[in-house]
Structure 1
Amino acid sequence: MSALDARRQWLAQRHNELLAALRARRDAPPGMPLSAPVAGGGAAGASGREISTPSARTALLVVGGVLVVVAALVFTVVSWGRLGIGGRAAVLLALTACALALPRPLRRRQLTATAEASAAVGLALVLLDGYAARQAGLGGLDRVGTAGYWAVLTTLTAVGAVVYGWWQRLRLPLPVGFLMARLPGLLGTAALGGTAEDYATAMIATAAVDFAVLYALTARAAGGHTGLRDRLGGERAATTLVTAAGAVGGGWALLGGVLAAGHAVVAPSPAEVVRSWVPLGLLVLLGMALCRGFRSLPFALRSGGEGVAVLALIVAVGAGLRYATPAGWAVAGYAAPAAFIAVWAAVSCARSGRWAKTTTGGPFAPPPEAAAAVGELVAASTILLSSCVVVLPDLAQALVQPVAHGVALWGYGHPPQWSWRLATAPLVVLWLFASVLAAMAVVRTRAVGDRHTDRLANALHNTAALAAVPALLLLPVALGLPYGWVPAVAAVAAVAVAVDVVRRRGATLVPRLLALAATGALALLWSSPDRTAVLAVCGTFAASAAVLAHVLSAPTARPTERATARVAGAFSVLALGVEAVASGLTAGLPAHVTAFVVLAVAVASACAAAAWHRVPGRDQVSTAVEGTGYALAATALALTAPHPGALSLALAVTGIAGLAIALRPDRRRAALVGTALLIASSWVRLALADVSFPEAYTLPVTAAALVIGHRRRTSTPGTGSWPAYGAALGATMLPSLAAVWSDENWVRPLLLGGAALLATVVGVRTRLQAPLVVGGAVLVLVGLHELAPAVVQVLGLLPRWVPLAAAGLLLLLLGATYEKRIGEARRVRDTMRSMR
């Protein structure tokens, strides 16, 4: 054992020595040999470093450069007046020349970062030179306009920075000059007093120059020239600079396009619109050139360029059509060209093979035309969708306008006079949207070959079906036809779709179901302002839904058809319930009387569910019909709630129906619900008779529950006493026990105590836990109730501090006992741990 311990200690010491040596090698300076010792220890050195050497160097250079520029600025602004013209020029030119001349010798000594910092300081001093020269009035520069002067100065500085950086093989001056090139166009426009369109033109023109330069550089690089890569010090730096320059140029062009488009949309006159065509046209040419000229760019960027071009074109056309169309048709002027371009782009996507990849298993290489087609499709679809969003408030108001008058009719009895109107332009936009969706769905289907396996084609078909429903049904409103025609057209359309679903079982089901749901919902909503229309629509829909549920629940039906059959069956019952309510209110019946009509529909639905349950394959439809009937029964009970007499009768009818449902072998538990409803009916009747004793309400429940529990124990031998008798005994004893404590009479405690004693004895004799526990607990509490006056009297003789002290001592005793048990448990744990 001693030899093993010694070996283990030696290995641990050797492990620590090796770790120390590795840390020393890691933290040693670059020039020090690996075997040289490191002062202070490796671990301490590693933990003492918070920034790396390159980071410290960069921080020093940045701070130093900023301080130099600030010093020069202070000298120029504050201390300028102490020198003459020659001295001023000499100082600034000397500083600028030194800063711009230092990078070359610094690069020879491999101080590249310092050279970049010196070049940045020199470029900043060039701008200060220009500011100082104008402030001093050299050569009459103070008489030149401010914007024009700075436009020329920033142009020269930007060009000079790029040339200087290229000549000196520096990285920083190139992006500085590129960013500074944003200013000359804006400053020149300001000097000429330009408008918003002129600023937009200047920004887009600047971006066009940027992309032209980038195209030249990338073309040279593609031809084998390595000038840019060599000047910037590597392929990665050159790629980063080109990518960043493209992003900046694209963003600058987008800002100009947004400015031009915003002014074109709100232009107060046709002349202003024509002026906005200049920057928008320039943006169109730039986007198309970016998509078709820069073939080396990623697919998404090229598509984005074409999309921006299409957006600018649609805005230009729509802004011009705004003055050529009647009032209110401005949004259609944007939607119409967008719809045309969207369809054209969809066809182009199909022809270019962009959509053919869904049928091929190998990799897909999109042709050059695919990028333009995708960009056009996305841009046109965006404009069309935005146009629909603009007209959505008008369409939504037309869709829900009858609902408010329907609420007034059924809630207050007399709706106000109203007229249903809808402008034609929003409906035209909706028609364009639905038509484009349908056309795109057809093109996509032909491109992929099989629509059933393509999610996009399915989504387009379904969305087109949903959009076509309001577009078709709102047409009578836009044409100004009388009100009765509108819900009639909607109801006929819903029935026609239902007939089509029944007749063409093998066709695609989802789009037709969406159209059926939309037409049915609109027909129901639009019929609400007229009582006759509600009765006719609900009756027609109930019959149609019943037929649909019967046909689609056939044994040979598909899973989708079976799900539709369940929904149709439930809707049929629900429509009959609405029909019942509408009939009662139309006949002038009170709500609690109308509830019995609804209850009759619920009972009939239970009978129909029982009949359908016997038919093979229709059990799920039967369940849906039965569940909807239960909901109608609950609604009927809610309608009778304000009238206790009607509520008692409705509860009794519902309870009897529940007992009848329990006759089905698979609905035996309905007997419990039916019994509970009958008991609730008796309770309501007792409350009407001013019976206030809780036993009158609880004893029937206890009797029924005891009988059911006893039958359950005899039929199921493993059933315990708590499931069988616990709830039954508690249903009477607990409410009576609560009444005992507020009852000063001796009869109730005597009877309750006797019943509790009987339950206790029965529990002891039969060895059942529930009667023993419930009866014994109630018996003890009744005894305490009878003993309470004497206890109160005794406590009244004691000082008030005695109960508090007793309670405190009890808590202390409990705490000491708990602590003792914890100590014993710890000793047992320690003993177990010490055992081998």
Structure 2
Amino acid sequence: MTHIPPPAEELRILDGELRQLDARRALLLTRRAWLIGVLHSAPVPPPPPPRRPETTAPSVQNVLLVLGGILLTVAAIAFTLVSWGHLGITGRAVVLAAVTLAALATPVALLRRGLRSTAESVAGLGLALTVLDAYALHEAALPGANGTAYAALASAVLAGVWAAYGQGLGALLGRPERAAARLPLRLPLPAALVAVQFPLLLWAIAAGAGPHTLTGALLTTAAFDTVVALRVSVRSVRLVAAVGAYGMGGWGVLAAGRLSFEATGPSAAARAAALLAFAAVIALGTAWRAPRVDLAVGTAVTGGLLLVAGLGGILRVSLPADWTVVGYLVCAVALLTVVRGPLPEPVRLGLAWASGSVQALAVVSALPPVAVALLGPAGWAGRIWSGAPSDIRAAVTAGTPWPPDAATAPLVLAVVAGVSVWALRTTQWRPQAMTGALVLGWATALVLPATLELPYVVGLFALGLTAATAVAVAAYARRAPTAYTATALALITSVSLSFLSLTSRPATLGVLAALTALFAVAAVKVRPASVWASTSLAGATALACAAGAAAGWAPAHTALLVLVVPCGAALLAARLDEPGTTTAVEVTGSVAGLVAVGLAVTDPPLLALVLALCGVIAAGTAVRADRRSVGYAATALFVLATWVRLGSWGVGAPEAYTLPVTVPALLVGVVRRRRDPLASSWTAYGPGLAATLVPSLLTAWGDAHWLRPLLLGAAALLVTLLGARHRLRAPLLLGGAVLALDALHELAPYLVQLAGVLPRWLPPALAGLVLLAVGATYEQRIRDARRVREVLGRMY
């Protein structure tokens, strides 16, 4: 029997079931939301890309047609070479004519149906068959004819036939206007142009022509290709013509250049020059009609170089070997006169670049003697005053060989310098041209004395005049680049001239004196004065060293003479107003002082004197308000001088070395405290006191006698009392510490003896008593320590 609960109980049961269902549903919805989030966050792999064909239908068609044409051509060749003999003359003629005419006629029908690609393939087969026809004709009908001459005739006939075939297709199709604008077939005309490349060359070879005729054939073919490339509008034809023009023309130019280079007489050189001139006309004609500016400029440069090469070749065989570069240079300069004629701007620019290139090569050929003239004198540094040579070339080379064929190097440099100024006088490049002409003129003056083998003294005078001229140019130049270049050239010349003067004592002294005076005058007249002043002082330093060596002085005694330079530099710097020049003069003077110190380092007494004199110069400089910091250097120099003097006397006491440091340091500290009452005593007196007390204390600890510890203790006591009297922290603590350590040193032997007498239990007992006493009076000790700290804190 089914039990039915009361309504209230049943309602309670239903509510419980519904609550369970709601909780389960909420759990399931939460799980569902989490699963959706996971699916959304996970990367979804992209669908695979659709497969695309690797080639297009027209490409497949072209490949198939080309392969078909190739196979048919191979078959025709095989038939001609293998099966030809099985047929008679009539059969041969019928087969060849029928196959060739069919191959050439089929493209007409294919073009009318719009099958252009197929027509191209069949036409290619037909053109190949015409070549086989020509070969078959020679083998069958003309077996005894010269092969090269027949090939020349056949290539000319085939070129005409192919060109007529390509042009006639348009008329056959009834569209002559299309034949003129866009050829029905792209292959016949380019093929005809390829065939045109061979007739002239093959005819010349068949006729046994010489190299000049062969080169003329190449250049004539290149000229025809150039005309076609410039006048024909069909792109494929222009491309083939351009390739032919560059190929045949380049081959011809190389051959003509070799003929010009190998020519040994005016006649051969003139014929080679005619060929090069022909090539130049082709290049210049191309530049005149070129559609692009860059192509016009490039071909004009080529044409200009070919003209120079041809005319220069004639001059080369007519002049001595030394004048070869001059001959080509004259032709390059003459080319500039053509530039000023009524020519298109790209052509003028290309000819100018060609002329400039030849001039640059001429300058490069003149650089070896310039390098020898500039760097060769450095070889005298290893054999100073070994004797002056007879002429300036022997002095310049210093045993190295003079470059061959360098007789015209000065002329080349001078001509290029003059042409640079003349050609660019009205252009925006005039400043650069003036600077380049200045460098070239300087190089001319540098190499000219050695080239002429002038006497040694005359050569020195010429180089000195070159340096003076560079200084004058730097003085009167209106533009900064030219002035800076002239300054650099003057300095370079002076260095080379200084090395060149090392051959003898009089030359060295005279050159160094002249350069010193020259740069001293330049420092007054020319800007920047800092460069000239420093150079003049450097020359004076070298002159002082040379004068001392010439007088037979030892290096240490020469150092006293060198000190005149830093002394003069200090006096000069005090009178200058320009900060840059003042600094340069002082730095150069300091370097001269270091040179003097280096010379005197082998003689300690003189070294001490030199250091002291350097200190005097530094102290004099420190008198100036803006050079107070030099006083530290003066003090250091004085101290070093004192130490060197004491070392030369054999003094070993450290106080002798430290007291000269302590006394000036304490004086400086007194002055500083007077100027700045808030300055700490550690800063004012600490370094000076430590300089003597610390080394003396270290020495006293190792001294077995009683005098040094006694004197050190007395001095430390005095310093401690002074510190306490004036309430100065540094003297009080330093003096007290040294006094305590010194006393400990004196008591150490007795403490050691006492430690040996006392029982071993006594030290631990005493330590325990001390700890008890300190613990019992801990607060009193704290108050005493604070009181001591306050007292020290009130000190300076």
Shift in Å, 1:568: 1.8
CA deviation string 1:229-260 (max 9, x = no partner): xxxxxxxxx3x864774476246424422431
**1:439 aligned residue:** 422
Question: 1:549/1:394 Cα in 2 relative to 1: closer, same or farther (>3 Å)?
Answer: closer
**1:328 aligned residue:** 322
Which of 372, 375, 382 does residue 350 from structure 2 map onto?
A: 375
CA contact (8 A) 2:642 2:660 kept: no
Helix, strand or coil: the match of 1:329? helix
CA contact (8 A) 2:374 2:446 kept: no
**1:45 aligned residue:** 49
**Structure 1 residues 575-654: aligned runs within 5 Å:** 575-613=539-577, 618-640=578-600, 647-654=607-614
Shift in Å, 1:718: 11
Return the alpha-carbon distance in structure 2 between the equivalents of residues 93 and 690 of structure 1.
Answer: 123
Return the alpha-carbon distance in structure 2 between the equivalents of residues 97 and 686 of structure 1.
Answer: 120
**Structure 1 residues 114-133: aligned runs within 5 Å:** 118=121, 122=125, 125=128, 129=132, 133=135
| 1:670 and 2:630 are equivalent in the alignment | yes
CA contact (8 A) 1:315 1:334 kept: yes
CA contact (8 A) 1:387 1:429 kept: yes
Shift in Å, 1:570: 1.9
Question: 1:703/1:310 Cα in 2 relative to 1: closer, same or farther (>3 Å)?
Answer: same
CA contact (8 A) 2:280 2:306 kept: yes
Helix, strand or coil: the match of 2:232? helix
| 1:459 and 2:448 are equivalent in the alignment | no
**Structure 1 residues 171-182: aligned runs within 5 Å:** 171=186, 178=193, 181-182=196-197
**2:457 aligned residue:** 484
Question: Identity of aligned pairs, percent?
Answer: 27
CA deviation string 1:358-397 (max 9, x = no partner): xxxxxxxxxx543333222221222222122223323433
Return the alpha-carbon distance in structure 2 between the equivalents of residues 531 and 693 of structure 1.
Answer: 47
| 1:660 and 2:620 are equivalent in the alignment | yes
**1:204 aligned residue:** 219
Shift in Å, 1:547: 2.8
Return the alpha-carbon distance in structure 2 between the equivalents of residues 494 and 471 of structure 1.
Answer: 13
**Structure 1 residues 101-500: aligned runs within 5 Å:** 118=121, 122=125, 125=128, 129=132, 133=135, 138-139=139-140, 148=149, 151=152, 167=169, 169-171=184-186, 178=193, 181-182=196-197, 186-217=201-232, 228=234, 238=235, 242=238, 245-246=241-242, 249-250=245-246, 252-292=248-288, 294=289, 297-342=291-336, 344-345=337-338, 347-348=340-341, 368-404=343-379, 406-410=380-384, 413-414=386-387, 420=393, 424-442=407-425, 444=426, 454=428, 456-472=429-445, 474-495=447-468, 498=471
Return the alpha-carbon distance in structure 1 between the equivalents of residues 656 and 190 of structure 2.
Answer: 93
Shift in Å, 1:608: 0.7
**2:489 aligned residue:** 518
Question: 1:396/1:111 Cα in 2 relative to 1: closer, same or farther (>3 Å)?
Answer: farther
Helix, strand or coil: the match of 1:268? coil
Return the alpha-carbon distance in structure 2 between the equivalents of residues 184 and 492 of structure 1.
Answer: 67
Question: 1:43/1:549 Cα in 2 relative to 1: closer, same or farther (>3 Å)?
Answer: farther
Shift in Å, 1:96: 8.2
Opposite residue 436 of structure 1, the aligned amino acid is V
Shift in Å, 1:459: 0.6
Question: 1:716/1:457 Cα in 2 relative to 1: closer, same or farther (>3 Å)?
Answer: farther
Return the alpha-carbon distance in structure 2 between the equivalents of residues 591 and 44 of structure 1.
Answer: 91
CA contact (8 A) 1:201 1:256 kept: yes
Size of the aligned set, in residue pairs, is 662
Shift in Å, 1:494: 3.9
Return the alpha-carbon distance in structure 1 between the equivalents of residues 470 and 359 of structure 2.
Answer: 28
Return the alpha-carbon distance in structure 2 between the equivalents of residues 122 and 319 of structure 1.
Answer: 49
| 1:85 and 2:59 are equivalent in the alignment | no
Return the alpha-carbon distance in structure 2 between the equivalents of residues 691 and 92 of structure 1.
Answer: 123
CA contact (8 A) 1:648 1:682 kept: yes
Shift in Å, 1:668: 2.9
Return the alpha-carbon distance in structure 1 between the equivalents of residues 96 and 306 of structure 2.
Answer: 47
Opposite residue 668 of structure 1, the aligned amino acid is R
Return the alpha-carbon distance in structure 2 between the equivalents of residues 598 and 698 of structure 1.
Answer: 30
CA deviation string 1:256-315 (max 9, x = no partner): 2243123312323434323312321211322333344x1x52334334333333322222
**2:760 aligned residue:** none
Return the alpha-carbon distance in structure 2 between the equivalents of residues 268 and 214 of structure 1.
Answer: 37
Helix, strand or coil: the match of 2:291? coil
CA deviation string 1:510-562 (max 9, x = no partner): 5466456535643652452444334333323333323332234xxxxxxxx4x
CA contact (8 A) 1:523 1:537 kept: no
When the two structures are superposed, what TM-score results if normalisation uses the length of structure 2? 0.65
Shift in Å, 1:57: 6.6
Helix, strand or coil: the match of 1:620? helix
Which of 515, 538, 541 does residue 541 from structure 1 map onto?
A: 515
Opposite residue 228 of structure 2, the aligned amino acid is V
Opposite residue 489 of structure 2, the aligned amino acid is A
Shift in Å, 1:569: 1.9
When the two structures are superposed, what TM-score results if normalisation uses the length of structure 1? 0.63
**1:822 aligned residue:** none
CA contact (8 A) 2:274 2:310 kept: no
Further displaced range: 471-480 or 377-386 = 471-480
Question: 1:76/1:697 Cα in 2 relative to 1: closer, same or farther (>3 Å)?
Answer: farther
Helix, strand or coil: the match of 2:456? coil
Shift in Å, 1:604: 1.5
Question: 1:151/1:548 Cα in 2 relative to 1: closer, same or farther (>3 Å)?
Answer: same
Return the alpha-carbon distance in structure 2 between the equivalents of residues 194 and 336 of structure 1.
Answer: 34
CA contact (8 A) 1:473 1:486 kept: no
Question: 1:95/1:497 Cα in 2 relative to 1: closer, same or farther (>3 Å)?
Answer: same
Opposite residue 654 of structure 1, the aligned amino acid is C
Question: 1:676/1:242 Cα in 2 relative to 1: closer, same or farther (>3 Å)?
Answer: farther
Return the alpha-carbon distance in structure 2 between the equivalents of residues 701 and 124 of structure 1.
Answer: 108
Opposite residue 310 of structure 1, the aligned amino acid is G
Opposite residue 427 of structure 1, the aligned amino acid is P
Return the alpha-carbon distance in structure 2 between the equivalents of residues 664 and 440 of structure 1.
Answer: 56
Shift in Å, 1:123: 8.3
Which one has a bigger Cα radius of gyration?
A: 2
CA deviation string 1:310-346 (max 9, x = no partner): 322222222112232234222211112222333x256
Q: Structure 2: 5+ residue runs without aligned partners?
A: 1-29, 170-182, 395-401, 714-718, 742-796
Return the alpha-carbon distance in structure 2 between the equivalents of residues 649 and 610 of structure 1.
Answer: 24
CA contact (8 A) 2:69 2:125 kept: no
CA contact (8 A) 2:549 2:558 kept: yes
Shift in Å, 1:189: 4.7
RMSD (Å) for aligned C-alpha atoms:
6.0
Question: 1:655/1:248 Cα in 2 relative to 1: closer, same or farther (>3 Å)?
Answer: farther
Return the alpha-carbon distance in structure 2 between the equivalents of residues 694 and 566 of structure 1.
Answer: 44
CA contact (8 A) 1:123 1:161 kept: no
Shift in Å, 1:143: 5.6
CA contact (8 A) 2:658 2:692 kept: yes
Q: Structure 1: 5+ residue runs without aligned partners?
A: 21-40, 219-227, 229-237, 353-367, 449-453, 553-560, 780-836
CA contact (8 A) 2:65 2:117 kept: no
